[in-house]
A and B are shown apart, each in its own frame.
Chain A
Amino acid sequence: MLVVAANRYDQVAQELVSRWAALGAGLLTCADLSLCGWRYPLSTTERSVAVIGGQVLPVEEITGVLTRLPCVFEQELVEIVPDDRAYVAAEMTAFLLSWLSELKCPVLNRPTSTCLSGPYWRQERWVYAAQLGIPVEPVRRSTALSADTSPASSSGCSASVTVVGKHCFGAVDESLATQARKLADVAQTALLTVHFSNTQADAAFISADPWPDLDSDEVNDAILAYLQE
């Protein structure tokens, strides 16, 4: 089974699961973590039992996972009494961090200690990392109660490259694709969208995120191929 882990209101994830229905895809949301059936013995994680889309199954039947959730948000725990939601959200997130990390199948992206779907980096860290040979637009932030909070600098972004494993997608100069792949390597992530100021070789790095737009068929196909490797 292919699994898409997402927040319960993520329509893109639901559509992706529908598109991959013939491949036996299932949607994992926080609702599944409030169902009887999970068994996760730390000494023998390969014998774990999961609940995906309400279905109880041995973890060995899971062949690939796409994660689209940074964490479990307390706002989506509508079945939990309000006073317990923050605690339960932290518990579910902590559980998924360990469970996703232990999976032997392809996971896109592998979680990190700060995010369930790859690196959780603030804009400043992306800019800092991108300086390995990539021109950058500086990012400035300031805050004072007496003034309006300034947002991160927002130079226009008009070009994007999405990295999926070894492949890059986006109508840009080849050098930008190379830079995007280099940044994904630095961030130790296999799925990353990198935004540039334009499509030419002299473009500046603007920002990056591990949640690519899944409207593109070629990106979706590449994700599917990665998960089926």
Chain B
Amino acid sequence: MILLWGLPGDRPLIAVHTMLQRLGYPVVLLDQRAVLRTEVELCVGSSMEGTLRFRDQTISLSAITAVYLRPYDSRCLPDIVLAGQDSQAWRHALEVEDILMSWVELTPALVVNRPTAMALNSSKPYQSRLIRSLGFEIPDTLITTDPDAALEFWKRHDTVIYKSVSGIRSIVSRLTTEHLERLLDVTWCPTQFQEYIPGTDYRVHIVAKEVYTCKILSNADDYRYATRQGGGTMIEPDTLPEEVANRCKMLVATMNLSVAGVDLRHSQNDQWYCFEVNPSPGFSYFQQATNQPIDEAIARLLASGDGRNLR
């Protein structure tokens, strides 16, 4: 039995669910919106056992051979927001989430991906150390609360972008003279500045040992928000040099991830920069543009149970 956990409106989750059903694999979708009708038990001692009940189904946790995780913060679910903080519903939702998160760290089933492995992405500079150790370039980076240091860095590199330090999604933006006054605000919180690397973006999806490469042509600083930044984006399938593809696979495997989205930029002087490894990639956006069968690759991986030793 393959367990998918998340929201039915989540496109990657639904794409994998649909593909698993089409391929005829036993799959169950744990709808996070039904958390108030979800019950879970877990016992860990000399052995581990547990039960998951939701709607009219009862599933032994030991019968689950693979898990695809795409849950959102339970506190943001409409029923939980409505019930209010510290309500019984609120506490129940958090406990369901916590017990399941505990179980997915320990189960021998294949988990795409275990929360501890995904947590590497919670800090971009922390993840950068690993990226750099495996041979990718990373842009010169300064994190500072000192406006003068930010100005010096900007002068040194001429063109500089800023973005979040954490895994919280932010819009990558170029520093302009319009930001000069706001630069004083960096004293409130360490802020990340990076030299701008001219070049071509690639999104590389790794599914176990398979590599799906998308080339991204955009005139925006952040292609994900091209329209908002007054630009446009085109995505097309491509291939990487074998050595770069192998390095991507090694990077993802080293992070104990079975599936990941790797953000690369090929610079104008033929260097390969890696900005980030996303452990829960929203691959459906890229699949729609390229027809790459990423959902099928993930479905087959889940069905195979390969990678159970990643715990």
- Interface residue? A80 (CB, 8 A): yes
- Interface residue? A154 (CB, 8 A): no
Q: Is the CB of A41 within 8 A of B142?
A: yes
Q: CB within 8 Å of B: which of A68-92? A: 79-80, 87-88, 90-92
Grouping DSSP codes into helix (H, G, I), strand (E, B) and loop, the A interface class, with mixed when no group exceeds half, is mixed
The distance in angstroms between the C-alpha atoms of A41 and B152, with both chains bound, is 12
Residue of A nearest to B118 (CB): A113
- Interface residue? A128 (CB, 8 A): yes
Q: Is the CB of B124 within 8 A of A140?
A: no
- Interface residue? A42 (CB, 8 A): yes
Q: Is the CB of A143 within 8 A of B168?
A: no
Q: Is the CB of A91 within 8 A of B189?
A: yes
Partner of A39, one of B46, B88, B142: B142
Q: Is the CB of B126 within 8 A of A98?
A: yes
Partner of B138, one of A36, A42, A93, A122: A42
Q: Is the CB of A39 within 8 A of B43?
A: no
B92 neighbours in A (Cβ, 8 Å): 143-145, 149
Q: Is the CB of B189 within 8 A of A101?
A: no
Query: How many of B's residues come within 8 Å of A, CB to CB?
Result: 55
B182 CB to closest chain A CB (Å) equals 14
Question: Contact residue range for chain A?
Answer: 35 or more
Q: Is the CB of B44 within 8 A of A138?
A: yes
- Interface residue? B58 (CB, 8 A): no
The distance in angstroms between the C-alpha atoms of A114 and B126, with both chains bound, is 12
Contact status of A141 and B42, CB under 8 A, knowing A88-B188, A94-B166: yes
The distance in angstroms between the C-alpha atoms of A123 and B98, with both chains bound, is 11
Contact status of A124 and B36, CB under 8 A, knowing A38-B143, A94-B126: no
The distance in angstroms between the C-alpha atoms of A101 and B119, with both chains bound, is 15
The distance in angstroms between the C-alpha atoms of A93 and B142, with both chains bound, is 16
A41 neighbours in B (Cβ, 8 Å): 140-142
A219 neighbours in B (Cβ, 8 Å): none
- Interface residue? A169 (CB, 8 A): no
Q: Is the CB of B98 within 8 A of A138?
A: no
Q: Is the CB of B141 within 8 A of A42?
A: yes
The distance in angstroms between the C-alpha atoms of A95 and B187, with both chains bound, is 14
Contact status of A33 and B145, CB under 8 A, knowing A92-B189, A122-B98, A136-B46: yes
Q: Is the CB of A34 within 8 A of B168?
A: no
Partner of B143, one of A42, A127, A141: A42
B10 CB to closest chain A CB (Å) equals 21
Q: Is the CB of B44 within 8 A of A35?
A: no
The distance in angstroms between the C-alpha atoms of A91 and B168, with both chains bound, is 8
The distance in angstroms between the C-alpha atoms of A182 and B119, with both chains bound, is 25
Partner of A35, one of B128, B145, B164: B145
The distance in angstroms between the C-alpha atoms of A36 and B129, with both chains bound, is 25
Partner of A90, one of B41, B144, B168, B187: B168
The distance in angstroms between the C-alpha atoms of A49 and B147, with both chains bound, is 14
- List the interface of chain A (C-beta within 8 A of B): 33-43, 49, 51, 79-80, 87-88, 90-95, 97-98, 101-102, 113-114, 122-125, 127-128, 131, 136-145, 149
Instruction: Give the top 3 A-B pairs by smallest Cβ distance, nearest first.
Output: A138-B45, A94-B166, A94-B123
**Other 6 A-B pairs with CB < 8 A, given A36-B145, A91-B189, A128-B48:** A42-B128, A114-B116, A122-B101, A122-B105, A136-B45, A139-B44
